[in-house]
Amino acid sequence: MSGLKGKVDILIGAQWGDEGKGKVADAMGAEVDVFARYQGGANAGHTVIVDGKKIVFKLLPSGMLYPGKLCVLGNGVVIDPEQFLEEVDDLHQMGRDRARLVISPNAHVVMPYHKIIDSAQEAFRGKKRMIETTGGGLGPCYIDKYARSGIRVDDLLDEARLREAVSTILEEKNRVLTKLYGENPLPLDEVYEPAREWGKALAPYVEDTAALLHESLEKGRHILLEGAQGTLLDIDHGTYPYVTSSSTATAGGFSGTGLPVTCAGRVIAVAKAYMTKLGDGPMPTEDKGEAGEHLRSKGEEFGSVTGRPRRCGWLDMVALRYVARLNGCGAVALMKLDVLSGMDEIKVCVAYDLNGTKTECFSGSSYTLEECRPIFEDIRGWHEDISECATFESLPEAAQNYVRYVEERSGVPVQLISVGPDRNQTINRGL
């Protein structure tokens, strides 16, 4: 597209989320001018550790820790105003609100009734529920977006329009709450008044984010589109129905920001050196024994938002190849390689046994994936502590071989390796 001199990198999760995208975005921060989140909401925790201090972003882009950067919450994000204001205040209290932060007026807003419906649905479904939500109301908010009955940030800024919209929507929502879920109806003012105050608080942050991003490209700036969750949770291409409510893959980066696909640059897939998953659904390489517990304990595999223990297992190359092809990945950031230290042998899934037939094809159907049994190859492990390694060459030979194996099997170069949780415990191989 003529006139666009900058570049756009896209950061996606290559597994079921929780891969370490926040650390990768932070590691790239010095070279990036604009950080833009394009989907998801406050259910997606990005953890960054700087100088031993842990900072969890549930909603804000990871670039908030860098001075002089532009941080964008695009139209594809759903905004929980309370969470947004809490995070901004926390950063201010720490003296770390260093970036310029803007919100798209077209982003949808998580309203109080979304959270009540979210929790009520979970209770109603009981053991038959297909997913475990965080109760943050994101699913119901996305439903309203596509039903064309949502409240957008722009609506919060016009009190008369907001009151009329909330009044109309509450008529329907109160019927659902009372007649289907047995909840109490929500009075208009209990919804409208907080929303009106949110509008006042959010107003200074609201700008035409699509126009800002285009302007940034025209000025030759480097934009990083930052996805939440992971590709295997994508609403279209993930392990349906155990998925999230938005497009987590590369394509969502453009619909969620207003940028044209013609400006796409590198797609960076963030993957752990093993696999984790929160909640139910098929996970072919899950290890329910000693190895899985070792990964969970050493990797501190607990949800950054919920605190729930993650299911752990071996790296699934079938899934990684699927994600690389789907997203057009040009680089892999391999996270938590240090967690594998201390193992004599490391397993890697290279294919599935599907009802007696060997296949290297990943299925987005949970019902098919449930029938798949992993076919493993064994890789020699290592016992050395790699947390202080600053170059690829300083890694033990077995660790180097593991990285090369991932590159060979995935067909994508590993250009960043994480050897510990801190910002400085990162080996950059050209990212």
Catalytic residues: 18, 46
Contact 113, 190 (CB under 8 A): no
List C-alpha distances in Å: 357 to 371, 373, 375, 409, 423: 11, 10, 11, 20, 44
Q: Which residues of 233-253 are buried (b: 16+ CB within 10 A; e: fewer)?
A: bbbebbbbebbbbbbbbbbbb
Residue 378, burial from CB neighbour count under 10 angstroms (0-12, 13-18, 19+): exposed
The tokens describing 45, both together, are: 């925790």
The CA distance from 365 to 30, in Å, is 40
The CA distance from 395 to 236, in Å, is 38
Distance of CA 50 to the CA centre of its chain: 20
The CA distance from 269 to 310, in Å, is 20
Contact 338, 420 (CB under 8 A): yes
The tokens describing 195, both together, are: 């929303």
Nearest to 290 by CA among 317, 318, 314: 314
Fill in the amino acid letter for 169.
Answer: I
